[in-house]
Amino acid sequence: MTDEHILEKLKAILSEAFEISPERVVPEAMLFEELDLDSIDAVDLAIKLQELTGKRIKPEDFKTVRSIGDVVTTVKQLLAV
């Protein structure tokens, strides 16, 4: 899965689950500061990413995620395992 494909999936997930406009979902967008996600939203996002990848995301792997670009990197790492 390419970065662009992962980004498109993220746009769909964030739009559907959190009502975030897809044009706001860019690699440099900060999850908490710019997209207004909170810690509960982050857990929900992690669950959605598990559904997307079919792999469990360890909480410690997701703690360093701050931007959409970080999410893309995390998904790529999960898919590579």
What CATH number does the domain containing 31 carry?
Answer: 1.10.1200.10
pTM, to two decimals: 0.90
Q: Which residues form the domain of 67? A: 3-80
Torsion sign across C-alpha atoms 13, 46, 27, 37? positive
Residue with tokens 């009502």: 19
Residues 15, 21: contact at Cβ < 8 Å? yes
The count of domains in the chain is 1
Number of helices (H), then strands (E), belonging to the chain: the values are 4, 0
Per the rule left: phi > 0, alpha: psi between -120 and 50, beta: everything else, 36 is left
pLDDT tens digits for the chain (81 residues)? Answer: 899 999 999 999 999 999 999 999 999 999 999 999 998 998 899 999 999 899 988 877 788 899 999 999 999 988 887
Give phi and psi for 21, each to the nearest 5: -60, 130
Q: Are 48 and 42 in contact (CB under 8 A)?
A: no
